[in-house]
Structure 1
């Protein structure tokens, strides 16, 4: 597959009154053409900061790239000046934000807001831009697009506003679409419609998607690959089936165990104890060690490298070291592993996500 984006050893800090917040600590991942990569984790794990660093939408007075590269079209985005980024942002890389109401200008008609990126990035006149904007609204499922072009954001429902935000993001046929928890503010039925819409549009315009979420149920429906983030690092990455049915990191076990499924019995769902680490002074070893029932002594002393599980699956946990003791994952995780060929618990069959 063609590699469209490479993030290499990215380290980013925020300089605050309290000190240096090490928000991103050595993040590596690739994005391939036409795929959807989901980045999952708790609030504060570094998901949104990672993607906003790709868009260069972080405050310049406090955010600082410490090291690493973000390679797109042969250029390192961390080194570009703001004027150079403006030519990429909205044209080649677009973003759908979490809250559609704050993403749209309440004083401007939505037609004007869709036309704006077309006039800026595409060589089209106003009449052609208006025609494309109407087509975009029709493509995202907006009824009566010609009339609705003349309306303001407050005249639309939450789901309709999110469709408008998607239309704005897709106006210039971007190569990469970053979706930052785009369904969080919506109810469940509208969530399903927006996810289905994004999958359909991805096929039509052949874009690559980075999908940020804390909801693993959403991940199962939309992602090809999944990166699990914790404490400013990626701790596990693999295909969606590998992460759901053969997870290896204790943090991934915790996330999956806390998610209800159709097989969930009446017992209480698991809750990961404790809170995420303070990134003003990150832990010396594995950031998840103090919250994990499976922590080894070395987890408190040394950060684990990535261990290879398969050609597409890697996890940063000392439990995968050849000298580590063999531990039993939680019962719910073992049940998932029973359906995954290659797992030591494999029994055949398939469980429901």
Structure 2
């Protein structure tokens, strides 16, 4: 498959009163045409900051990209000005944000909000833009679009507002769609509908999707590949099967162990001990070492490289070194892995 986006050694910092926060540290990944890549991790791991950089939304002068490149169709987006990014943002790369109420203008009818990008980026007349807006409302499953197009955001439910946000993001047929926790604010039933909608749209439009989430249950049903982020770095990356059924990094084990499953009978969920490190002064060695019950002495001294597990699967943990002891995922994690398999089977 054709690669549409290449991120190489991306570093993002923010100047704060407390010092320079190293929010993203040497991130590498690619995105193929028609593929869904999920980026997962705890809050503060660098997921949203990474994808905001793809949109040119890192606020300057506090936010900087001191090193790295974001290659899209031969252009390095990290080097483009805001004015140059305006021609790409919304047209070639679009974003669905977490909370539709903060994404939509409460004073504008939703039809006008969908039409804006069509008029700006595609030069459509108002009549053409309105006709396309009606098509998009149909596509995302809004009933009575002829009536709804002239209504305001407060007249829509949470799930319907998120569908409107998706319609706006899809208006100009973007090549890359970034979905930043698009189902977090929705109940479970609506979540499932939005995920099915995105999968259906991807099939119809062959759009590449980057899906940001902390919910591994969502990932199992929506992604082709998964990148696990911790403390501003990708610590494991592979296909869904690689990461869910053959996870290698102890942090990935922790995420899987803290995930509920439909056949889990335990009275409480597992939790990863401790808290993420301070990225003003990132720790020496493996940033996860202080929280890792399987940490080796070298974890506190030297940062692990990305070890190759297979052609599609890589993980940054010293446990993959040839001289490391053989350590299996904890039994509780294996139970969760089996539970995910059961959930997938029940939903297919």
**CA offsets 1:55-102 (integer angstroms, 9 cap, x no match):** 011211210111010000001001011111000000000000000000
Distance 1:127 1:288 in 2: 55
Show the counterpart of 2:219: 219
Show the counterpart of 1:25: 25
Show the counterpart of 2:87: 87
Distance 1:192 1:297 in 2: 43
1:241 Cα deviation (Å)? 0.9
Show the counterpart of 1:252: 252
Distance 1:337 1:114 in 2: 41
Show the counterpart of 1:204: 204
Distance 1:40 1:219 in 2: 8
Q: Does 1:48 align with 2:48?
A: yes
Q: Is the 8 A contact 2:180 2:212 kept in 1?
A: yes
- RMSD between aligned residues: 1.4
Show the counterpart of 1:190: 190
**CA offsets 1:304-353 (integer angstroms, 9 cap, x no match):** 000011100000000000011112320033457799xxxxxxxxxx6556
Are residues 148 and 293 of structure 1, via their aligned partners in 2, closer, same or farther at CA, if it must alter by over 3 Å?
Answer: same
Show the counterpart of 1:101: 101
Distance 1:144 1:296 in 2: 60
Distance 1:77 1:104 in 2: 26
1:168 is paired with a residue of what secondary structure? helix
- Equivalent residues in 2 for 1:9-24, closer than 5 Å: 9-24=9-24
Show the counterpart of 1:131: 131
Distance 1:167 1:197 in 2: 11
Q: Does 1:2 align with 2:13?
A: no
Q: Does 1:154 align with 2:151?
A: no
The gaps in structure 1 that reach 5 residues or longer are: 340-349
The gaps in structure 2 that reach 5 residues or longer are: none
TM-score (norm 2): 0.96
1:267 Cα deviation (Å)? 4.7
Distance 2:199 2:343 in 1: 21
Distance 2:343 2:45 in 1: 27
Distance 1:67 1:43 in 2: 23
1:136 Cα deviation (Å)? 0.3
* Count of residue pairs brought into register by the alignment: 343
Q: Is the 8 A contact 1:336 1:351 kept in 2?
A: no
2:308 is paired with a residue of what secondary structure? strand
Q: Is the 8 A contact 1:96 1:179 kept in 2?
A: yes
Distance 2:164 2:267 in 1: 41
1:266 Cα deviation (Å)? 2.7
